[in-house]
Amino acid sequence: MVIHYPNGKSYTPPVKQAQKKKRPKDISFSNRGMSLEDDLNDSNITYLTQGRAVIHKKPTPIQIVQVDYPKRSAAVIKEAYFKQASTTDYNGVYRGYYLDFEAKETKNKQSFPLKNFHQHQIDHMSACLNQKGICFVILRFASLNRLFLLEAADLLVYWNRQYQEKEKKSISLKELEKNAHEMYYNFSPRIPYLEVVDQLIEDDVHNIE
Amino acid sequence: MVIHYPNGKSYTPPVKQAQKKKRPKDISFSNRGMSLEDDLNDSNITYLTQGRAVIHKKPTPIQIVQVDYPKRSAAVIKEAYFKQASTTDYNGVYRGYYLDFEAKETKNKQSFPLKNFHQHQIDHMSACLNQKGICFVILRFASLNRLFLLEAADLLVYWNRQYQEKEKKSISLKELEKNAHEMYYNFSPRIPYLEVVDQLIEDDVHNIE
């Protein structure tokens, strides 16, 4: 049974059995990371509906090469390529604060590999921190189904460490247990990350001038 | 001569004369609005480089239908459609404040038609205002080459007016001269909109709790 979450995606009517095309079996790659993304989109819709925050995932950047304009119907993109994003995936506004974050998953059980992040995302988060934004990453250990919110300032420490010490290309689970904020799945919102953000604000870690 | 502005677009090497394909003459539609967008992207890069603000244009939302994965080369999107955005085009962080805006152009000389905006953008700006974001629209009269920054709170007044009074489907130039902030093109950044934002912040219009 396909469950259609209210995740902002357009509803595609179910295809009749007879018309169904055979799908390739190796769909794991394209689904990689979808679960965390779905949960976050769902949470953002909940927050938006409740009037608590306005947070959106940015669209995937695409380089469009060729577009057809058929008469009396919608423009069709016939050739395009995925581009690397220059920012993180999520941003928005909450109680006057600018929120900016990235979400990543790993199948590892002991540590979170830093190769999940790219230099341009690190640079973007640094720039946002300089502008007094509240920046963080949401990390999920898929096999353990554990969720952490790690502040960008702490991520930067681990990021820089990998260039100084050998064999430290990841953040250990123990380090996250100590330095990040563990979050637990809920019903609505499914990932209640604003509770951690409230804590960050109250801790005066992020003073707005 | 083609001038390549530092607008974040990938550089395309110039095609030799002999290889040049004839281009269709009616390129005006596809270029509509490019000038204001280019100037804003250029301004945002200037602000980012100067470390003054982190403002980005969101990618155009695309509904991807079919993707080919050729062996040993990049994934090619073979069928996709333009989707309507659920937010405004630009957002980011400046001095701890959340900035959110939309940019629109008209060829009119006397008034700015409200049909340039959509209900979902109005809803988004209202929601951002409720979260104490700084929201506005940048309006350009292409024929006059005049630029205005209109605060979202004022846009909402004009937007709601169109449902109350007949024949008021637009904001007159006189109203903008009185209630909006006129901006003048500069060299770097080309559209110095943060100067107006500074003014808004100093006027205590947007107090952060």
**% helix / strand / coil in chain B, to the nearest 5?**
30, 25, 40
Q: Which residues of B are annotated as a binding site?
A: 87, 89, 102, 121
Contacting residues of B for A23, CB less than 8 Å apart: none
Q: Is residue B3 very low, low, confident or very high in pLDDT (cuts 50, 70, 90)? A: low
Q: Which residue has the tokens 């604003």?
A: A194
Cβ neighbors of A176 (< 8 A, separation 6 or more) are A112, A139, A148, A150, A182
**With contact defined as beta carbons under 8 Å apart, do A152 and A135 qualify?**
yes
DSSP lists the bridge partners of residue A103 as A138
Q: Which residue has the tokens 């006129």?
A: B182
Q: Does residue B206 surpass a pLDDT of 80?
A: no
The mean pLDDT of A162-177, rounded to a whole number, is: 90
Reduced to 3 states (helix: H, G, I; strand: E, B; else coil), residue B47 is: helix
Closest approach of A206 to chain B, Cα-based (Å)? 9
Both structure tokens of A164: 């100084």
Mean pLDDT score across all residues of chain B: 86
Predicted pLDDT at A205? 53
Q: Which residue has the tokens 């003459």?
A: B25
CA distances to A15, A21, A142 from A2, in Å: 12, 17, 21
Could you give the percent of chain B with pLDDT greater than 70? 80
Contact B62 A81 (CB under 8 A): no
Please state, in angstroms and rounded to a whole number, the distance separating the CA atoms of residues A139 and A191.
12
Q: Which residues of A are annotated as a binding site?
A: 87, 89, 102, 121
Return the number of other C-beta atoms located less than 10 Å from residue A78's C-beta: 16
Please state, in angstroms and rounded to a whole number, the distance separating the CA atoms of residues B150 and B102.
10
Closest approach of A122 to chain B, Cα-based (Å)? 13
Predicted pLDDT at B73? 85
Q: Which residues of B are annotated as a binding site for Mg(2+)?
A: 87, 89, 102, 121
Q: What is the pLDDT of residues B153-185, one digit of tens each?
A: 999 999 999 998 776 899 999 999 999 999 999
Both structure tokens of B78: 């073979």
Please state, in angstroms and rounded to a whole number, the distance separating the CA atoms of residues A134 and A101.
8
Contact B81 A74 (CB under 8 A): yes
Cβ neighbors of A122 (< 8 A, separation 6 or more) are A155, A156, A159
Give the torsion through C-alpha atoms of A152, A157, A163, A168, to 10 deg. -100
Q: What is the pLDDT of residues A119-150, one digit of tens each?
A: 999 999 999 999 999 999 999 999 999 999 99
What one-letter code names the amino acid at B59?
P
**With contact defined as beta carbons under 8 Å apart, do A98 and A65 qualify?**
no
Q: What is the pLDDT of residues A7-64, one digit of tens each?
A: 555 555 554 444 444 444 443 333 344 589 999 999 999 999 999 999 999 999 999 9
Please state, in angstroms and rounded to a whole number, the distance separating the CA atoms of residues A2 and A24.
18
Predicted pLDDT at B168? 85
Which domains are assigned to chain A? 30-59+85-202 (3.40.1350.10)
Please state, in angstroms and rounded to a whole number, the distance separating the CA atoms of residues A158 and A175.
10
Q: What is the pLDDT of residues B110-154, one digit of tens each?
A: 999 999 999 999 999 999 999 999 999 999 999 999 999 999 999
Contacting residues of A for B66, CB less than 8 Å apart: none
Nearest by Cα to A36 from A90, A96, A99:
A90
- Rg from Cα positions in chain B: 19
Contact A79 B78 (CB under 8 A): yes
Q: What is the pLDDT of residues B25-77, one digit of tens each?
A: 443 333 344 489 999 999 999 999 999 999 999 999 999 999 999 888 889 99
Element at A147 (helix H, strand E): strand A146-151
Please state, in angstroms and rounded to a whole number, the distance separating the CA atoms of residues B3 and B190.
15
Q: Tell me which chain A residue has its CA closest to the CA of residue B201.
A: A209
Nearest by Cα to A60 from B162, B109, B60, B96:
B60
Closest approach of A151 to chain B, Cα-based (Å)? 16
